[in-house]
Amino acid sequence: MSENKPKQDERLLELRNRIDTIDSEIARLISERANCALEVAEVKKSNGEDALYYRPEREAQVLRRAMERNPGPLTNEEMARLFREIMSACLALEEPIKVAYLGPEGTFTQQAALKHFGHSAVSKPLAAIDEVFREVEAGAVNYGVVPVENSTEGVVNHTLDNFMTSNLKICGEVELRIHQHLMISDITRKESITRIYSHAQSLAQCRKWLDSYYPNVERVAVASNAEAARRVKGEWNAAAIAGDMAAELYGLKILNEKIEDRPDNSTRFLIIGSQAVPPSGDDKTSLMVSMRNAPGALHDLLAPFQHHKIDLTRVETRPAQSGNWTYVFFIDFVGHRERENVAAALKEVGACASDMKVLGSYPRGVL
């Protein structure tokens, strides 16, 4: 036994006492904050029937401030995550919000929903992107979370196509680093794997790794990563590629971690709802435009953005549902529609487009 042990024990006790004092101070302050949020709810209620409790622009400001004034040693992301959960609990006191996401449980979309709304939101997994749109439109839930693009595999067409027929707005975005793992169940024989299940996008994201380590194993595309994990549970000769949440949910063992081909593999998700979001100070706008099929149409469409010094972050083209060889452009750019230069550019684009819809202005993803 070290002769310093009694001294170390004393120091440990002292530090733990300090932590206990700090914890009771934190608890008191969190309760004070929660009471404040309850009063905010009263003010909102007195302003009218359809009071909006969830305020994306305010949440983005609170999280950004938590990062800006972070004195360390926690990272900015960790600090913001803690405030994310405090705010989620405060909002649940005001009114528990319901969020639908592309399920089943254990998918990356569920992870995105938790990252954006925190753990106090009531979440509901649905089987298809269309169902998430319908459920929000019907008012059965307040918001929906759907994937829109992956840095390796590109755009999620289903999500863009739904905006052609829906009046829902984009209220937010969330980006998630995607780590894929190879996982097996406790009955799997490692040497006898003949089949690997995953979602087609995940199989594509790990193509090179699979070519190197499992070149002769059958790759089976299923509806989601979570479904892949569920199947492996009962098969002795199969493995799945999925994320942490699926492994945890189905009690699978991770055999190889982070097997995605690109280390910066990430997916962007959209928050859909029926609310127009005021400026937060750092916003993006998404636009859907149809153009007549004429020479120079794309140039006419993009020129106003250059002219008004607006940064484009994405341009996607989809075939229009109305007719052959006409196209719909999905354009994302930096700035809120209420900003002067954005409003001016939108006016000019509207003048040369055959149809234009602003899908939403929303805070740029913070976490």
Ligand X SMILES: O=C(O)C(=O)C[C@]1(C(=O)O)C=C[C@@H](O)C=C1
The residue whose two tokens read 């919000």 is 97
Q: Which of residues 62 and 254 has its CB atom nearest to ligand X in the complex?
A: 62
Please report how close the Cβ of residue 137 comes to ligand X at its closest, in angstroms.
22
- Residue-level length of the chain: 367
Buried b (16+ CB within 10 A) or exposed e, 216-253: eeebeebebbbbbbbbbbebeebbbbbbebbbebbebe
Out of 60, 66, 79, 87, point to the residue binding ligand X (CB under 6 A).
Answer: 87
Q: Which amino acid is residue 154, in one-letter code?
A: G
Does 90 bind ligand X (CB under 6 A)? Our answer is: yes
Q: Which amino acid is residue 161, in one-letter code?
A: D
Out of 23, 30, 35, 37, point to the residue binding ligand X (CB under 6 A).
Answer: 37
Does 98 bind ligand X (CB under 6 A)? Our answer is: no
Please report how close the Cβ of residue 305 comes to ligand X at its closest, in angstroms.
31
Does 303 bind ligand X (CB under 6 A)? Our answer is: no
Please report how close the Cβ of residue 56 comes to ligand X at its closest, in angstroms.
7
Q: Which of residues 58 and 158 has its CB atom nearest to ligand X in the complex?
A: 58
Contacts 24+ apart (CB under 8 A), 307-313: 307/345, 307/348, 308/341, 308/342, 308/344, 308/345, 309/341, 310/334, 310/335, 310/341, 310/342, 310/345, 311/335, 313/284
Q: Which of residues 52 and 255 has its CB atom nearest to ligand X in the complex?
A: 52
> Using alpha carbons only, how large is the chain's radius of gyration in Å?
24
Does 91 bind ligand X (CB under 6 A)? Our answer is: yes
Please report how close the Cβ of residue 43 comes to ligand X at its closest, in angstroms.
9
Total site size for ligand X, rule CB under 6 A: 12
Secondary structure (DSSP) of 229-290: HHHHTT-TTEEEEE-HHHHHHHTPEEEE----SSTT-EEEEEEEESPPPPP-SSEEEEEEEE
Does 115 bind ligand X (CB under 6 A)? Our answer is: no
CB 199 within 8 A of CB 224: yes
Does 55 bind ligand X (CB under 6 A)? Our answer is: yes
Q: Which amino acid is residue 39, in one-letter code?
A: E
Q: Which of residues 53 and 327 has its CB atom nearest to ligand X in the complex?
A: 53
Please report how close the Cβ of residue 89 comes to ligand X at its closest, in angstroms.
8
Out of 59, 149, 173, 227, point to the residue binding ligand X (CB under 6 A).
Answer: 59
Out of 63, 80, 92, 94, point to the residue binding ligand X (CB under 6 A).
Answer: 94
Binding stretches for ligand X (CB under 6 A): 37, 40, 53-55, 58-59, 62, 87, 90-91, 94
